Amino acid sequence: MRALVVYESLWGNTESIARAVARQLEQRMTVVITDSEGAPASIDGIDLLVVGAPTHAFSMSRPATRADAVERHGAPRTVTRGIREWLAALPRMSSAVPAATFDTRADSPRLPGSAARAARHRLRALRFDVSDGAVSFWVDGYAGPLIDGELERAAEWAAALVASAERSARVTRS
């Protein structure tokens, strides 16, 4: 089985979660991990897609929110093609490939909205199987670091994704 993990990260928190997820998936699958700018235009041959992004302004980031993160909040990275743009360019699926989404969000204050839920909604519209839901991982303040235990929680979540993808593959083959 093959998995693709695509993430967007400005401070490195979302990337850290993506890498923890990929490490866990690699125990049972072949994994390609990439940022949104290097993500492929097609996911042919992928058995599991995992998408991660930071929550900006209650959803997936936009060019304006990414620019604000760099200019006003000192984000060390600039991203030109985020998860929002990558998902917008993906073709509609002919069969339901399992997909899961996650985001990183400020632990305090806990505001409404979620990049993971917005990405999950977009993937559902593209006919992905998003039954594994959307998960949030918490960072301290706007820039992080990750709250203690979040990398371990990401690994546990990824283990559950592997089990779900394997069940899905068995059902598809039978």
- CB-CB contact of 48 with 165 (8 Å): yes
Angle in degrees, CA 50, 55, 60, rounded to 5: 70
Domain count, the chain: 1
Identity of the residue numbered 43: I
Predicted local confidence at residue 31, as pLDDT: 96
Q: Tell me which residue range forms the domain holding 20.
A: 2-173
Regions of the chain short of the pLDDT cut 70: 172-174
Predicted local confidence at residue 173, as pLDDT: 60
Predicted local confidence at residue 168, as pLDDT: 78
Query: Tell me, what CATH number does 133's domain have?
Result: 3.40.50.360
Predicted local confidence at residue 38, as pLDDT: 96
Predicted local confidence at residue 109, as pLDDT: 86
- CB-CB contact of 155 with 123 (8 Å): no
Identity of the residue numbered 60: M
